[in-house]
Amino acid sequence: MIISVASGKGGTGKTTVATNMAVSLGSDVQILDCDVEEPNAHLFLNPIINEKETVFVPVPKIDDEKCTYCKKCAEICRFRAIAVLAETVLTFPGLCHSCGGCMEVCPEKAISETDRELGVIEKGRVNGLDFILGRLRVGEAMSPPLIRKVRSFVQPDKINIIDAPPGTSCPVIAAMKDTDFVLMVTEPTPFGLHDLKLGVEAVKLLGIPCGLVINRSNIGNNDVRGYAENENLPILMKIPFDRRIAEAYSRGKLIVTEMPEWKEKFIELYNSIDKLAKREKDK
């Protein structure tokens, strides 16, 4: 089972839901922090990190001796990562998407691959929970390959909970694609609803079953609930705007350890997800 916890809007409580659900379920659970621009699940889980790995992507390197400035590499590159100006070939590694097209079309075999550092992966454990995060190098803009690398550690026989980045662009798609269920965490405000709609549109395109958690559920207005009803999106959990929850969060504590009565609710949340995901598979 792979569940991605996403949101559209940032700061709605993805990490809160992902970490509390993971800890409530106990064993045979892995949490994957795919919010690689600012991973924060470790702040609440305090795992012992026992493995670190630097992640690279291949980018082109031009052999000036062999290059005849034919421009075929520059013409095939959709991302303008290679430019041929007079008798100079320039590469822009930050724009390269590592497709290998330039190497393929070069008639002189003047292009080879070199590595560009994207970031690191950290693996660890805490109380029987497997933990893994990706951390994008400061200044790096391209996160999807790093997110895919984090996801390569999914363990199919376990419950895998992915903490996705906010938004609806490539990094979010990389975190949601081919998961069994997308749990959208939202808040009942105009901003929350606006970004939730964008997120739900993306999930629909991917054809993944989806349900909602409404955080700070006793503030704002009823529009999110109305939207959920119209779109047939099940509301699987409501978390109230509660000072005790805010205090726990601000101290890096989990709701389920500070208020143990919540553990059962997070287990129920998982059970509803499991049921909905299975129903989808049986279709």
Partner 1 sequence: MKIAVTSKGKDLDSEVDPRFGRAAYILIVDTDSFEFEALDNSENVNAFKGAGIQAATMISDKGAEVLLTGFCGPNAFKALNAANIKVANDAAGTVKDAVNAFNGGKVSFADAANVEGHW
Q: In the complex, which residues of this chain contact partner 1 (CB under 8 A)?
A: 74, 79-81, 83-86, 88, 90, 92, 95
In whole angstroms, the minimum distance from the beta carbon of 74 to partner 1 comes to: 7
In whole angstroms, the minimum distance from the beta carbon of 139 to partner 1 comes to: 11
In whole angstroms, the minimum distance from the beta carbon of 117 to partner 1 comes to: 19
Among residues 61 and 253, whose Cβ is nearest to partner 1?
Answer: 61
Residue 201 φ/ψ, nearest 5 degrees:
-55, -45
Among residues 94 and 128, whose Cβ is nearest to partner 1?
Answer: 94
Among residues 172 and 273, whose Cβ is nearest to partner 1?
Answer: 172
Cα 4-274-23 angle, rounded to 5 deg: 65
In whole angstroms, the minimum distance from the beta carbon of 86 to partner 1 comes to: 6
Distance CA 242, CA 202 (A): 31
Radius of gyration of the chain (CA): 22
Closest among 82, 103, 106, 86 to 94, alpha carbons compared: 82
Residue 74 φ/ψ, nearest 5 degrees:
-70, -35
Among residues 51 and 87, whose Cβ is nearest to partner 1?
Answer: 87
Among residues 70 and 120, whose Cβ is nearest to partner 1?
Answer: 70
In whole angstroms, the minimum distance from the beta carbon of 100 to partner 1 comes to: 18
Q: From the DSSP assignment, how many helices (H) and strands (E) are in the chain?
A: 11, 11
Among residues 136 and 196, whose Cβ is nearest to partner 1?
Answer: 136
Residue 11 φ/ψ, nearest 5 degrees:
70, 20
Distance CA 30, CA 184 (A): 19
Distance CA 282, CA 280 (A): 5
